[in-house]
Amino acid sequence: MKGKTMALALLLAAATLQAQTVDQQLLAAQMAYQSADSRLESARRQKQQAEAEQRLAAQRLEQAQQQLAQANLQLQHADSQLLAAESGLQQAQQVLKDAWQQKEAAQQ
């Protein structure tokens, strides 16, 4: 795209230099102006699109960071529950073991 634009600009500049009359020079200048104005508008639209995409990406990043923080909290909570459950199981196993030992001792 840039190559075509530059080639067009060079052709327009060459046309300006080769123009024989004032009307031809004016037409060449108008064409060069319109081409430059078109490129400017295209660049502005591209910038606006890029800015919109940047804002959207920033919003998505913020949401993802919030989701990650929430997931980390849930993981910490799950780890705490797991430790508590393991401790409870160990205690229950000990109580069960003690109960069997008492039963066996009572039967002898």
pTM of the full predicted structure? 0.57
Task: Provide the pLDDT for residue 54.
Answer: 98
pLDDT tens for residues 50-105? 999 999 999 999 999 999 999 999 999 999 999 999 999 999 999 999 999 998 88
Task: Provide the pLDDT for residue 108.
Answer: 77
Question: Smallest Cα–Cα separation from 25: which of 33, 34, 16, 12?
Answer: 16
CA 47, CA 51: separation in Å to the nearest integer?
A: 6
Residue 9 CB partners (closer than 8 Å, separation 6+): 32, 35, 36
End-to-end CA distance of the chain: 98
pLDDT tens for residues 8-38? 666 666 665 554 688 888 999 999 999 999 9
